[in-house]
Amino acid sequence: DTAVSQTPKYLVTQMGNDKSIKCEQNLGHDTMYWYKQDSKKFLKIMFSYNNKELIINETVPNRFSPKSPDKAHLNLHINSLELGDSAVYFCASNSENSRNEKLFFGSGTQLSVL
Amino acid sequence: KQEVTQIPAALSVPEGENLVLNCSFTDSAIYNLQWFRQDPGKGLTSLLLIQSSQREQTSGRLNASLDKSSGRSTLYIAASQPGDSATYLCAVSGNQFYFGTGTSLTVIP
């Protein structure tokens, strides 16, 4: 069983469209994250949710809206897609109660905006 | 703000060599440091986690060290194999995880 799964793996869309990426974890973790990895492989945190509550919201355009229906799911909705949104988006999870637990990642969603 | 740097950005070695990857960070107030491996088109896999109170962790041919006072960590890979070829990233945990830009390792058969 995949621990952190995100869909879709690839997403190709036109500028201006709205799209969503879904993420689910079956590890019983209480904290989930969205990261953006640019073409230079730099990973930057976008959002962090703990037990469905927003904890970290980095400087991200408000076109990006995370939604956590329960602590096992964290989805990312993007409105009015722009060329600069093209990147790989990773979902991750861990247990916030333990500061020394490994971070588990999904396999990524490669978003290409044309 | 925490900054994490990894040197070198790329490394190519012949199979069987031992090698060291470096990670440095600017703020020593961390909970832990993790080393990750990323294969092309895949997510990150955590290899080793060193708690801030620890000096090193070992797993198989991998050994990671942490010197919090100097803001440095190393990942030692013994007897490298072609299957070790990947990008290796380090991350430090404070109020969030801060990642380095990675070292792309190629092990030549």
The answer on pLDDT for B44 being more than 70 is yes
Nearest CA in chain B to A37: B101
HEC assignment per residue over B92-106: EECCCEEECCCEEEE
Check residue B66 and give its pLDDT. Answer: 97
Partner residue opposite A107 with nearest CB, options B43, B93, B95: B43
Check residue A24 and give its pLDDT. Answer: 97
The answer on pLDDT for A97 being more than 70 is no
Check residue B5 and give its pLDDT. Answer: 96
Q: List pLDDT tens digits, range B1-34.
A: 899 999 999 999 999 999 999 999 999 999 899 9
User: How many residues in chain A?
Assistant: 114
A76-86 CB burial, b ≥16 within 10 A, e <16: bebeebeeebb
Q: Average pLDDT over chain B, rounded to whole?
A: 94
In this prediction, residue B94 has a pLDDT band, given cuts at 50, 70 and 90, of confident
A76 to chain B, minimum CA–CA distance in Å? 17
Check A42 against B42: CB less than 8 A apart: no
Mean pLDDT throughout B53-60?
94
Interface test with B, best of A7, A94, A102, A107 (most B CBs within 10 A): A102
Q: List pLDDT tens digits, range A80-90.
A: 999 999 999 99
Query: Quick one: CA torsion of A31, A104, A27, A72, rounded to 10 degrees?
Result: 40
* Inter-chain contacts counted by CB atoms under 8 A, chains A and B: 53
Check B44 against A90: CB less than 8 A apart: yes
CA distance A24 to B58: 30
In this prediction, residue A104 has a pLDDT band, given cuts at 50, 70 and 90, of very high
User: Are the CB atoms for A27 and A4 separated by under 8 Å?
Assistant: yes
Check residue A1 and give its pLDDT. Answer: 64
In this prediction, residue A99 has a pLDDT band, given cuts at 50, 70 and 90, of low
Bigger pLDDT: A71 vs B20: B20
* ∠ CA B41-B44-B48, rounded to 5°: 150
> What DSSP character marks residue A97?
T
